[in-house]
Each structure stands twice: as structure tokens, then as C-alpha cells.
């Protein structure tokens, strides 16, 4: 499975650097979290990886693929799917309809194919339905499958959003605050799903999350952004003890040991 490399990425909006010279590697099969205070550049980084923004400078690669100038649908085609912070679901459509719609972006046949080769198109359609049903099973959404998404509890809608990304059969899943606004029980469920996505499906997970307890519990590596710069990266226990991280979160400089 490919590794994701972010190399010296700078992203500028007018005079503002949303990201400055950020480098990090996401090893295949890991859960890696990106943390940092509000406005630190976390979503901007995810936008660069998923092709919504293009870095002003620097390079992003996924295995042999250069993502730096790729469009979002091309990035998805390379096996990178994203669940959005603000749900990207059609509220009036059912769970199963939302997932089928997302899966259709992966259809291998064109309109011409479907007219000329009806058999191939309908076989593909049956495969898509079977795939979507497996995702519904995996994300434990059976009881909601025919309900319009807009009528579901917020925590369930967030779960459908993750399911939507999974229907694209990614090898790398980008999750932007999948637990925001959830109660404790819903968070526990989402943590379990994230762990299972990695363990049972072998999918690499990049997570933006404000709940540091969750981050430290489930991440293999953590990278910390502050004012668009990477200020720390490493194992959760290394990062949580790093004085620069403590300062970024508390605004208070960590005491320097006497004699240091």
C-alpha cells in the first residue's frame, strides 16, 4: 500500500500563509492524527491532499502519484476518499441512495457503454449494490438504510458520511472532525469504527480531531500544526510531552529545567 508524502507544502491565500513549509509522511496502515488550535491549517492540509486546494509551493505524493495539481476526482481515483466536516450528504435521499450515488462515481462504464453493452452495465450495477450493502453492514446502518438522511440523529449522519467515503473503496481515508458535536456514546462508536476500518479493512486513516483524549488513544502518530507550521510530530506520548505543543494549546511556555 502506498505512503503519503507531504513535502515542504506552503499554501498562500492573498497575503496569508495557511500552511508554511509543512512536511510529513503518513505510513501505510496507520492511524495518523493532525491536531492544532483553531485556524492552525488542518483543514487546509486536508484540502491540499484531496485536491480541493493546490499547494502554492511543495509537493504531495501518494505512492507513484503526484497529487500536487490533481483534481479531487483524480485523487479519489488514486484511492483517497474523504469524509467532510460539514456533511456532504443529500438530506432528502435515503442512506442507501446516498451511498449508491457516491459509489456511482466509480462506475467503469460510460453512458455509451450502458446503451451498447447493457449486460456489463447491469452487472456493474449489481456489484455496486452489493458493495454498498457491505458498507451499510460494516457501519451498522441496516436499521436506517431506507430513512432520509435529514431525519437521522446527527451522530448517525456523521456515520453515514464516513460510510459514503468507504463506498469509494479507498486505501486512504481522510476524516475531518468525524466526532465533532457528538455525545460520549456516539464518540465511542465512532472510535470503534475507525479502529475497525484500519484493522479489518487495512485502510490508512488520517484524522483531524479536537478531542485530544481520543487522538492520543487511537493514533500511531500525531502531527501538530500551529499558525500553519508543523511544530511537532511523533508518537502520541512524545507529542503530548513536547513543550512547543503544550505552549500552542495553553499559551503558556513550559518551564525550562534548571541547568538545561
Contact letters (x/-) for ligand ATP, 42-81, by CB under 6 A? Answer: xxx-------------------------------------
Contacts of 95 (CB under 8 A, 6+ apart): 136, 141, 144, 145, 146, 147, 149, 152, 160, 163
Using the structure block, give the residue that is written with the C-alpha cell 453512458: 111
Instruction: Find the shortest distance in angstroms from Cβ 19 to ligand ATP.
Output: 8
Stretch that binds ligand ATP, among 40-48, 127-135, 216-224, 233-241 (CB under 6 A): 40-48
**Residue 41 binds ligand ATP, judged by CB under 6 A:** yes
In the complex with ligand ATP, the residue whose CB is nearer, 42 or 198, is: 42
Q: E-assigned strands of 14-121? A: 16-26, 31-35, 57-62, 65-66, 80-83
By the 8 A CB rule, do 11 and 48 touch?
yes
By the 8 A CB rule, do 175 and 110 touch?
no
Contact letters (x/-) for ligand ATP, 1-30, by CB under 6 A? Answer: ------------x--x-x------------
**Residue 39 binds ligand ATP, judged by CB under 6 A:** yes
Residues of this chain that interact with ligand ATP (CB under 6 A) are 13, 16, 18, 36, 38-44
Amino acid at each position: 500500500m502506498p505512503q503519503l508524502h507531504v513535502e515542504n507544502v506552503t499554501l498562500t491565500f492573498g497575503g496569508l500563509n495557511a500552511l508554511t513549509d509543512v512536511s510529513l509522511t503518513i505510513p501505510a496502515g496507520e492511524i495518523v492524527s493532525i491536531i492544532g488550535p483553531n485556524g492552525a491549517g488542518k483543514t487546509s492540509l486536508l484540502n491540499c491532499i484531496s485536491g480541493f486546494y493546490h499547494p502554492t509551493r511543495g509537493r504531495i505524493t501518494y505512492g507513484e502519484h503526484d497529487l500536487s495539481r490533481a483534481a479531487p476526482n483524480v485523487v479519489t481515483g488514486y484511492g483517497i476518499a474523504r469524509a467532510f466536516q460539514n456533511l456532504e450528504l443529500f438530506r432528502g435521499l435515503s442512506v442507501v441512495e446516498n451511498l449508491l450515488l457516491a459509489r456511482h462515481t466509480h462506475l467503469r462504464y460510460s453512458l455509451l457503454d450502458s446503451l451498447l453493452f447493457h449486460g456489463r452495465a447491469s452487472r456493474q450495477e449489481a456489484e455496486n449494490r452489493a458493495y454498498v450493502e457491505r458498507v451499510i453492514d460494516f457501519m451498522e446502518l441496516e436499521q436506517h438504510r431506507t430513512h432520509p438522511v435529514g431525519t437521522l440523529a446527527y451522530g448517525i449522519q456523521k456515520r453515514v458520511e464516513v460510510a459514503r467515503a468507504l463506498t469509494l473503496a479507498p486505501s486512504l481515508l481522510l476524516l475531518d472532525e468525524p466526532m465533532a458535536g457528538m455525545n460520549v456514546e456516539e464518540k465511542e462508536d465512532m472510535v470503534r469504527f475507525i479502529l475497525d476500518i484500519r484493522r479489518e479493512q487495512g485502510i490508512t486513516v488520517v484524522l483531524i480531531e479536537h478531542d485530544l483524549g481520543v487522538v492520543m488513544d487511537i493514533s500511531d502518530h500525531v502531527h501538530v500544526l500551529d499558525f500553519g507550521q508543523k511544530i511537532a510530530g511523533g508518537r502520541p506520548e512524545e507529542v503530548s510531552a513536547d513543550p512547543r505543543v503544550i505552549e500552542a494549546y495553553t499559551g503558556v511556555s513550559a518551564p525550562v529545567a534548571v541547568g538545561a
